[in-house]
Amino acid sequence: MAKPEFGYDDTPKLPGSKWRVHDGRRPQPRIVTPGSQDGAQHFGTAPSDATVLFDGADLSKWKSVDGGDAEWKVENGYVQVTRTGDIETREHFGDCQLHVEWAAPEEVKGESQGRGNSGVFLLSLYEIQVLDGFDNPTYADGMTGAIYGQFPPLVNACRPPGEWQSYDVIFEAPKWVGDRLHKAATLTVLHNGVLVHHCRPALGPTDHKALPSYQDTSADTGPVRLQDHGDEVRYRNIWVRPLMDYDAAD
């Protein structure tokens, strides 16, 4: 069998699947054109009970993953990757609703995983892939909106490079009984208003070229992390709402 044009053919097989991790032969998600936005592509303001993580002004609610100040560039209401490393929120969150807007560079450089690559991590462990996936084939579990290395998006809802896009995520943290996994982390994701994952149980924290697993227990809260993959991806209008049980909140 011919070697795939992109991706890998020497990685482990995913449990219950005929596909390997980052398998270049896995079918590409079908393309869906998202609904139109107004000229400025405004996605609305945060709900009244949300914690605004980035409002376009500063990175006071963020830090670098090594503990120092976040050094990404803030201008014109957005923050841009600067090849200074990943950044993460100072506050930790568990079960939550997360809204993130992002844009890949307008000037197209590279191909496959080398084009507009970044990522949004929940608990700093579970990655939703950010990528310029517009007319840019890559391995399916690394496509825009993928739960990276595990599940491709149901469809490819990418806008052209340079245009603002949105992720809306409902995340449920894994639940443990002692050191035994009781319930896997679960993600529902909408990309530009289009459902790309529905109550999808993650196989474990994100990994690269390896099978994810829940071998180690982890906290049920953690930071939201944005990945610096070296591409000048921009972010704006980031907010989060903790999910609360109605009776517990009463």
Give the model confidence (pLDDT) of 77-100 as tens digits. Answer: 999 999 999 999 999 999 999 999
Residue 33: per-residue pLDDT: 75
d(Cα 237, Cα 228) in Å, to the nearest integer?
18
Residue 179: pLDDT above 60? yes
pLDDT at 105 (0 to 100): 96
Cα separation of 153 and 188, whole Å? Answer: 11
3-class secondary structure, 142? helix
Is residue 247 within a helix (H) or strand (E), and if so which, with residue range? Answer: helix 246-249
**DSSP letter assigned to residue 249:** H
**How far apart, in whole angstroms, are the C-alpha atoms of residue 188 and residue 10?**
30
The pair of three-digit structure tokens given for residue 235, joined into one six-digit string: 């972010």
Confidence tier at 39 by pLDDT (50, 70, 90): very low
pTM confidence score: 0.89
| pLDDT reported for residue 51 | 95
Nearest Cα to 81, choosing from 216, 198, 236?
Answer: 236
Distance of CA 73 to the CA centre of its chain: 20
Which tokens is 197 given? 């994952």
Let me know: does 128 contact 99? Beta carbons within 8 Å: no
Backbone angles phi, psi at 248, to 5 degrees: -65, -30
Nearest to 200 by CA among 172, 176, 165: 172
Asked if 240 and 170 touch (Cβ cutoff 8 Å), the reply is no
Angstrom CA distances, 3 to 23, 44, 65, 150, stand at 10, 45, 37, 21
Q: Cα(204)–Cα(28) distance, rounded to whole angstroms?
A: 23
Residue 65 neighbours by CB under 8 Å, 6+ apart: 85, 86, 87, 88, 124, 225
- What average pLDDT score do residues 20-42 get? 76
Distance CA 86, CA 83 (A): 8
Exposure of 112 by Cβ count < 10 A (0-12 exposed, 13-18 middle, 19+ buried)? middle
User: Is residue 136 very low, low, confident or very high in pLDDT (cuts 50, 70, 90)?
Assistant: very high
Candidates 54, 51, 62; CA nearest to 89 is: 62
Each residue's pLDDT tens digit, 201-213: 999 999 999 999 9
